[in-house]
Structure 1
Amino acid sequence: MAENVIGNVEQQRMYASVKDIADLDAPIYRIFPLWFFEECLRIKHITLIRPHTWEDPLEVVGDAIAVNGWADKQVVINQDLPPVFAQCWSATAESDTLLRAYSRVDKDTHFRRNTSPRYEGVQVRTTTRKLIRALMEKAKGSPHGKCYIGTVRYIPHNEILQGIANTIRSHGIDAFREPDVRADLLFLKRQAFQHEAEVRLLYFCNESCADNLFRVPIDPNELFDEITFDPRLELFEQREREAVARSLGYKGPIRESDLYQRIILQVSLDRDSN
């Protein structure tokens, strides 16, 4: 896996690998449901979760593989791999597709107020450098593990499956116990998801863990460079959301998106144009 390493000699047992990201300070984005975002401001954590809780079935294809012919029998491997936790971000600054995929707005027909406020979107902007530093700081006090952040590569379904098979043939049935090998797989997705332009944050824990969550302490005012409330909201609702965010301690910039702003086009014609 081609990578840059963030760390130093004193951090030999815990360091971060960065895959396919040329500029650590380029902006990346995530759409939080409103109640997740406000909870983040309250408790000052972001949360990584286990990929097997996601809807894409290919995220767990490596977790149980039947291998034929190993010691003249069939064995099922990868059923007890060390836990991995992940969080998804995007290099895309503004996307109707992502907004509708990761949030919901249902407006009352009379007052135009959103009837599902907890699920409306809040887009947060940060950088790769800030994210990986927060994760590394958390990992220092956690069971020994390894941190990764990288750009997801989108390839055909059959190439992902063939790559898994080739890895096992080349490196044996314990190949995916190696974090670098397993991270390579988690940085692959099918082409149907390429609109996400995903940047993925990963933490591999070297010890068993019953929890499905890995909470990373943050200072929202340091991690979040900018936030944008759901552009489908009416202006009065956006102002309400801003007031709550400020009351919860957020001091950074709040951007207003014109993604769904109505435009009245005015064209002036010279009298001689007809």
Structure 2
Amino acid sequence: MSSSAGRLYRILSFDRVVQIFEKEQLHLAHPSSWDDPYEVRLKHNQSHQIFGQCWCTKGVSDAMWRIYSPNHLGVRISTSTKLLRQQVATVARERGYTLRMESVRYESQYKINKEIAALRGDLQQHFEVQRAMDALFLKREAFDHEAEFRVLLRAPEANRKTVLEGIKIPINPHRLIDSVLLDPRAPPELVAAFTYYLQQKIGFKKRVARSVLYKSTDPYVVEGE
């Protein structure tokens, strides 16, 4: 699996983006809270200690805007694998967490079943949490529009309450996030208000704009009969 995805993107609600800047934290959820039941197909005695966050490697995606910004008020933050790794790896070292960051591989359901079964057999012979994390970098082809890059952390101190709440890690959002893009369907008034808040209240100095995905272009006119 490739560990280098280059550019990374997440579409969130505006209030969640504000929380990242104000609290200077990233939230990592337990995979059991994700929609796909295959995320927790492989169970082991450290399953409750693994938390993740998903990013997208596609900068322009109609599907992602429609899924994650259904009310047309979503905000896309962007970073790079290098910037993200720098911040997360520091926390992992300080807290004694196990870290994995890689692109998700999309396969047929048949192939995934086969690979998970083989992985289970290997782990029964010799358990390694890094090897167990392999299962969370496999997804069915039906989800390949997500083009995911995942950050996984194993938090040894996690308990049942932690599984429900997830974990939060400190980051510097002004260093991590290098641009903010608003939904291409957002009303101009909201774009102006969000831009003002991010730049004047939050103090974000980098690019803030509205996506031009649905911006009309000059038509090609066919003249004559």
Using the size of structure 2 for normalisation, the TM-score is 0.89
1:34 matched residue in structure 2: 14
Q: Is the 8 A contact 1:132 1:147 kept in 2?
A: no
Higher relative contact order (CA 8 A, sep 6+): 2
Alignment partners' CA distance in 1, 2:126 and 2:158: 17
- Cα deviations by residue, 1:105-134 (Å, 9 ceiling, x for unpaired): 26xxxxxxxxxxxxx211111011111111
1:192 matched residue in structure 2: 142
- Cα deviations by residue, 1:192-238 (Å, 9 ceiling, x for unpaired): 00011110111012333332322122222211111101111111210
2:65 matched residue in structure 1: 99
Any residues of structure 2 matched to 1:19-168 within 5 Å, and which? Answer: 19-22=1-4, 26-63=6-43, 78=44, 81-105=47-71, 120-142=73-95, 144-168=96-120
- Cα deviations by residue, 1:4-23 (Å, 9 ceiling, x for unpaired): xxxxxxxxxxxxxxx50346
Distance 1:43 1:169, change over 3 A: closer
Point out where structure 1 has 5 or more consecutive residues left out of the alignment: 1-18, 64-77, 107-119
Larger radius of gyration: 1
For residue 80 of structure 1, report the CA deviation from its aligned partner: 5.4
Amino acid at match of 1:30: R
For residue 53 of structure 1, report the CA deviation from its aligned partner: 0.5
Distance 1:22 1:200, change over 3 A: closer
SS at match of 2:8: strand
Matched, 1:232 2:185: yes
For residue 139 of structure 1, report the CA deviation from its aligned partner: 2.1
Q: Is the 8 A contact 2:4 2:103 kept in 1?
A: no
Alignment partners' CA distance in 2, 1:170 and 1:236: 56
Q: Is the 8 A contact 1:82 1:207 kept in 2?
A: no
Give aligned-pair identity as a percent. Answer: 28
2:211 matched residue in structure 1: 257
Point out where structure 2 has 5 or more consecutive residues left out of the alignment: none
Kindly report the root-mean-square deviation, in angstroms, between the aligned alpha carbons of the 2 structures: 2.1
- Cα deviations by residue, 1:244-274 (Å, 9 ceiling, x for unpaired): 11212211111332112234526374xxx66
SS at match of 1:208: coil
Q: Is the 8 A contact 1:105 1:232 kept in 2?
A: no
Q: Is the 8 A contact 1:41 1:249 kept in 2?
A: no
1:180 matched residue in structure 2: 130
Structure (1 or 2) with the greater helix fraction: 2
Alignment partners' CA distance in 2, 1:164 and 1:265: 51
Distance 1:45 1:128, change over 3 A: same
1:203 matched residue in structure 2: 153
Using the size of structure 1 for normalisation, the TM-score is 0.74
